Amino acid sequence: MTQKIWIDEEEREMAEELAIHTNKMDALATLANGIAHDFNNILSGIVGYSEVALSMAEKEKPVANILERILDACERAKTLIDPILAFSRQNWQAGDEEPMQIAPVIREVIELLKASLPANIKIKENIICDKGIIFASKAMIHKAVMNLCTNAIQAMKDKGGTLAIELKNVEVDQASAISDNITTGSYIMLSVSDTGPGIPQNIMKRIFDPYFTTKGNGEGTGLGLSVVYGVIKNNKGSVKVKSIPGTKTTFEILLPQIEITGLS
């Protein structure tokens, strides 16, 4: 009986924490979306006028060169906005969503990582759901997985360790659906683990915030996990992180499977 009360209380606290965290992420997303939207509008003006000026400056080589540089800078600024939009816009779509298998994307990421993997880090892969299909953008899933693996590798770069990538089918029942804020049904679970230093409890609540980073200049932008969060949420999935300081960190992602009829 005492045990039951304790579990109820713990569950209530977890649900409350999840609600507070979801509210905070929503508020951040609204703010980020507003800024990204205004910024995009201003940028469109700069690009438009620069293009007009460039066409008028055909014979003025030095002026044309400067205008081309302005346009290059605008292009770079635009690529900065994309991750913010991926995080902040509810139901943001990359535009190339399609029924896709996640396993080949994971294999591609692993191949890419192997090309520049430090010698003290090993990759262990366990992909046991070749058939599962989700409806998502390959490019965005690729980016999300890449961001998780990059963090894992960066976490282990000093002492080395093992990056474990696992993919499997899971059924989400009523209880886990409530605690993960998703619906019941068939999901694909991707887990990315590392044997690095772990994530200190006091920063755990902030790791998904845009621009939150503990890395030095040039190493991290603080956008990796916020993009992961945005991509997975927009695909009706969930992200969970478990970390044991000094031992390991595991990110667990659930993505809903879709049924494709007529395929054998």
- By CB under 5 A, name the binding residues for Mg ion: 151, 224
Task: State which residue, 134 or 155, has the beta carbon closest to ligand ADP.
Answer: 155
CA distances from 41 to 33, 79, 81, 109 (A): 12, 14, 12, 34
First to last CA, the chain: 50
- Select the residue interacting with ligand ADP from 50, 88, 137, 147 (CB under 6 A): 147
| Angle at 22 (CA atoms; ends 253, 135), nearest 5 degrees | 40
3-state secondary structure of 184: coil
Q: Which one of 69, 124, 131, 215 is in contact with ligand ADP (CB under 6 A)?
A: 215
Interface size with ligand ADP, residues (CB under 6 A): 20
3 state SS of 94: coil
Q: Could you say whether residue 135 binds ligand ADP (CB under 6 A)?
A: no
Least Cα distance to 205 among 21, 68, 63, 62 occurs for: 21
CA-CA distance, 134 to 235, in Å (whole number)? 9
Closest separation between CB of residue 135 and ligand ADP, Å? 25
Cβ closer to ligand ADP: 136 or 152? 152
Q: Are 252 and 128 in contact (CB under 8 A)?
A: no
* 162 touches ligand ADP by CB under 6 A: no
Query: In whole angstroms, how close is the CB of 224 to ligand ADP at the nearest point?
Result: 2
Shortest Å, Cβ 207 to ligand ADP: 4
Nearer to ligand ADP, 50 or 195 (CB): 195
- Of residues 10-49, which lie at the interface with ligand ADP (CB under 6 A)? none
Q: Which of 207, 231, 239, 253 binds ligand ADP (CB under 6 A)?
A: 207
CA 65 to chain centre: 37
Give the ranges where 89-168 is alpha helix by DSSP (H): 102-114, 138-156
Site residues for ligand ADP per CB under 6 A = 147, 151-152, 155, 194, 196, 199, 207, 212-215, 220-226, 249
